[in-house]
A and B are shown apart, each in its own frame.
Chain A
Amino acid sequence: MITATDLYLYRKRRLVNMASLTLSMLATLFGLLWLAWLLWTLVTQGIQYVNWDLFTQTTPPPGESGGLSNAIAGSLILIVLGVIIGAPIGIFAGTYLSEFGRGTRFAAIVRFVSDVLLSSPSIILGVFVYQVVVIHMGHFSAYAGGLALALIVLPIVLRTTEDMLRLVPDRMREAAAALGAPRWKVIVSIVYRAARSGILTGILLAVARVSGETAPLLFTALNNQFSSTNLSQPIANLPVVIFQFAMSPYDDWQHLAWAGALLITFGILLLNIIVRVFLPEPERQR
């Protein structure tokens, strides 16, 4: 028999359910709203200043027209440096965790520390590299910037490499070993080959992550008004240029900052979407 209290309870439960589910939908909308708003702002503020000059002219003094060519080139150089230094170490370290150190305490500690390093404040990495490299060289340099970025690339690549190598079935390793292949050969020609696109995913994600990093470059690569390919000198790079130009009182500079922000954001989003759509999904880094 259904009493009035039962009915009341039932209604109340339904109501609570509806309310919480509605709230959860609103929360999702709330999250997506910011994404849409941010992108909308970038497009409306930046698109009018994206033109050919942006890619061919160097950063101007206030009041003159110019582009961001030196900053774009510098950013690419820094990213390449960061990946060249960080990715091999990350891949090797990931290889160790997956192939040699499985289940050991040392591997567990390395994995733990790497995860912490990945989420630790990037500005600290800038301070660290400043103290270690910049002070000893006596000036800011592209090397220092690349090194700071490498410290971010390393844990990302390590994590994805380990995850992707673990996905390779042990049967394949055993089959190769049974054919007499030495261990390094098993790893290089069997495991790496099977996990190739996964490792690439890790590197691309690392590139996406470091290309917008500003804080570690402030004290390391700094900035340069001119085109420079000298790696031991300060080098222009998009994030720091955007920061300085956006904070400046000059309209021209602010316009360039918005154009740069548009470039960098859509570059990064494109990279992220490519990685997610075309390559296997690795464990998300946290």
Chain B
Amino acid sequence: MSILVNKHTRVICQGITGKAGAFHTKGCKDYAPTMVGGVTPGKGGETVEGLPVFDTVAEAVEKTGANASMIFVPAAFTADAILEGVDAGLDVICAITEGVPVLDMVRVYDLVRRSNSVLIGPNCPGVITPGECKIGIMPGYIHRAGKVGIMSRSGTLTYEAVWQTTNLGLGQSTCVGLGGDPIVGTNFIDLFRHYQDDPQTEAILMIGEIGGTAEEEAAAYVKEHINKPVAAFIAGRTAPPGRRMGHAGAIISGGKGTAAEKDAALKDAGIEVADSPADMGQAVARAMARRRK
């Protein structure tokens, strides 16, 4: 078991004929045989990496049985691509594209949330169930099938955590990069629900960062509803207020969204907090040894 994606998932790439789309289609295809095609309007009938290209997502779904996609189209067209995926009834849509205008996400957010599709991102590395299915830009080889569900607002910091849990022999059930933007399709709480219900996931690692209140909300949820061991790390305790740290969402504004506030909420919920980014894997191990409830 795992969450969101597995060896039965059939994935298409929206924007497959672009440079990034083609490159990562190859990466995902080389990792697991779950890539089945792609979409670029006006380029239907072509092939990329031996996979068929279609003009619309609906057609790709009809011809390949696809139920998931990864989006590499330019930022200006990402909201449209997301809704096209929703319209075609995809189960999982990963928007990798960064730089999407935030009001575009406001415009599509309610429609996506009311649909049966799960949107991951935008501005995210994607989703991977080690050994079964990779949708996104993460390096596959650092992962190892195992026990820990990892979710994060960051890309390379997730790789760091994955690598640590791999080296400790814990491995991962499914890793999800939620994305670094102020509004993303899926939040920590959504994934806590999935991880709680997944028998393969024995522990959960949440990697947050400064800005917003998503980690505080997640902590409150964990306190009430999660009985699996949970560890967490918050990036940005040295970030100055009012300055955007790369991610559009990573900013302390009006004195809100500091790492200290988030750490306090996490600890209050009984979550094992890593003080150092080098300690994320060990924090998971400590949480597992300690056991919740």
Q: Do A and B bind each other?
A: no
Residues of A within 8 A of B (CB): none
